[in-house]
Structure 1
Amino acid sequence: MHTHHQLIAEKSVIDTIVLSLPFILIITIYLTAVFISNKKYQRWPFYRIIFFIVGILCTAAALIGPIAESAHTNFQAHMVMHLLLGMLGPLLISLSAPMTLVLRNLSIKHARMLSKLLKSAYVQFICHPITAAILNIGGLWVLYTTDLFSMMHSSILVYTVVHLHIILAGYVFTISMIYIDPTPHRTSFYLRACILVIAMAGHNILSKWIYANPPAGVGKADAELGGMMMYYAGDAIDLVIVVILCYQFFKGNSYWTKKAHSLS
């Protein structure tokens, strides 16, 4: 006969498999879109496929499995989840250019409808670097400096809304900084660079705040280790964004410089 622990273990495995299905479906849809796109256009870069798959796996690892389970009681695990869900996952997914792939697979009519949506005032407002930074970094300050953190672990609805906000805010912030997909409402490099520096400072200050002022229910030693993880790992991921942003700027300047010389 099955023991109580065996039944719990089997239920945990089944729950993990069920919760994994949406992520498997998303990856399948992306790969199918790549297959269809390759028949019509130039082959989709293989590295973008890898970025997308790893990005989705990072998101899945943050929401299901041992990290997600430990995050309820272990602040260090929670911080790993935060880094995967709100920073690394969105960065990798943005580098996979999902919107470009969608546009390549839509009919002309539907592609125009999507383009119209991307050009709307609402998208322009949400994807503006200042708005995106407030939603992303400001949301984290609200989470870790108010009762929202403890509420999140006592309500499945709050838990779901908070984590949905983290991944969406992280993605919007990333695409507002670096332009991989078509971006109708572009802002200057200097504005994005300034906002990125301010956002990085806000993230670092928050990590130090957590180090010195643990959220409710979090032990001092746990908060210190979690704050250090947030500080150093967050900087490492932000550094990738900085490098890409600067690369795009200098590449663009080099292109237009050559263009000007060719016309002179």
Structure 2
Amino acid sequence: MHHARHDAGTAVFGVWWPALVLLACAGAYLLLARRARHRNPARGWRRWRSAAFLAGLGLLVLALLPPLAPFAHTDFRGHMAQHMLIGMYAPLGIVLAAPVTLLLRNLPAARARQVTALLHGRARLLAHPAPALLLSTGTLLLLYFTPLFHLAMQHPAGHWLLHAHFLLSGCLFVHVIAGPDPAPARPGVPARLVCLGLAVAAHALMAQAMYGGFFVDVHAPISQVQGGAVIMYYGGDLAELMLAAALVATWRPVRRRPEDRHGPGPALGSLEVG
């Protein structure tokens, strides 16, 4: 009897532990936002950023808990819906919430300089669109068009590694395209729009190849594979449209100083945290 209760408790914890982790993340963000508003009332912290962070975590809860999580283990359409939520929609809310900027505002000056130095140093390469595009979109070719997906699905650890990859690579891509946090190596808006366009085209081509059964290596009924392809095609388009809107919404023209008015030409523009 005691063993049965213990096993049931372990099973419940195994299902719901992501919610506990995400709840802790939400509490930490809200605490930092509250401290930022109290430490500097003039600058404060915009509540819509807190709402965006909570929305991103809410999408992760939807993806990682029942009923979608068990469905994703048995149906490829559920897996693809989970992939869209974790890798494309949740990162929009999380990244647009500017968590790194919020952290910098709460750290002591010396620690904040260390984090800034890291962003300007080893992490500089990751702020370029090419690695972000390769990690977020290019790896999907390996996943769905090689035996990698089948191998990952055979082991619980592989399943969670996929979730981690989707989330981290998705956050990196959103950060490179339209993230408000510091990104010293990030190119201008035209280059980022080209990168976003490449991602749109790659997702569309992969979804069409998957629907037609060309080179796809997913061990699932044809109806499930085609349903997953439809989710990837239309879900990816909507997410990338939202990302393009975020890029346009956060773009601001550079305000030139009076002494620069007779310079060589007009400034192109920049992004700023608002």
Larger helix proportion, structure 1 or 2?
1
Q: Is residue 37 of structure 2 the alignment partner of residue 38 of structure 1?
A: yes
Partner of 2:86: 85
Q: Is residue 157 of structure 2 the alignment partner of residue 154 of structure 1?
A: no
- In 2, Cα distance between equivalents of 1:248 and 1:34: 20
- In 2, Cα distance between equivalents of 1:143 and 1:79: 12
Q: CA deviation at 1:140?
A: 1.2
Change (3 A) 1:58 1:43: same
Q: Is residue 133 of structure 2 the alignment partner of residue 133 of structure 1?
A: yes
- Using the size of structure 2 for normalisation, the TM-score is 0.86
Q: Is residue 22 of structure 2 the alignment partner of residue 23 of structure 1?
A: yes
Q: CA deviation at 1:156?
A: 2.1
Q: Name the SS of the counterpart of 1:218 in structure 2.
A: coil
- In 2, Cα distance between equivalents of 1:153 and 1:82: 13
Between the two proteins, the alignment pairs up a number of residues equal to 256
Partner of 1:219: 221
- In 2, Cα distance between equivalents of 1:248 and 1:261: 26
CA contact (8 A) 2:125 2:185 kept: no
Change (3 A) 1:9 1:222: farther
Q: CA deviation at 1:211?
A: 0.9
- In 2, Cα distance between equivalents of 1:261 and 1:61: 53
Change (3 A) 1:10 1:107: closer
Q: Name the SS of the counterpart of 1:180 in structure 2.
A: coil
Partner of 1:246: 248
Q: CA deviation at 1:162?
A: 1.9
Identity of aligned residues (%): 29
CA contact (8 A) 2:98 2:179 kept: no
Q: CA deviation at 1:17?
A: 3.3
Report which stretch shifted further, 55-64 or 169-178: 55-64
- Using the size of structure 1 for normalisation, the TM-score is 0.89
Change (3 A) 1:10 1:106: closer
Partner of 2:268: none
One-letter code of the match for 2:159?
Y
Change (3 A) 1:157 1:229: same
Change (3 A) 1:222 1:86: same
Please give the residue correspondences for 1:185-264 in structure 2 after superposition, counting only pairs within 5 Å. Answer: 185-213=185-213, 215-249=217-251, 251-252=252-253, 255-256=254-255, 263=261
Partner of 1:59: 60
One-letter code of the match for 1:116?
A
- In 2, Cα distance between equivalents of 1:111 and 1:245: 26
Q: CA deviation at 1:127?
A: 2.1
Q: CA deviation at 1:181?
A: 1.1
Please give the residue correspondences for 1:100-111 in structure 2 after superposition, counting only pairs within 5 Å. Answer: 100-111=101-112
The CA deviation string for residues 110-134 of structure 1, in whole angstroms up to 9 with x for no partner, is 00000000001x3121221011001
One-letter code of the match for 2:218?
A
Structure 1 unaligned spans of 5+:
none
Change (3 A) 1:24 1:125: same
Structure 2 unaligned spans of 5+:
263-274
Q: CA deviation at 1:227?
A: 0.7
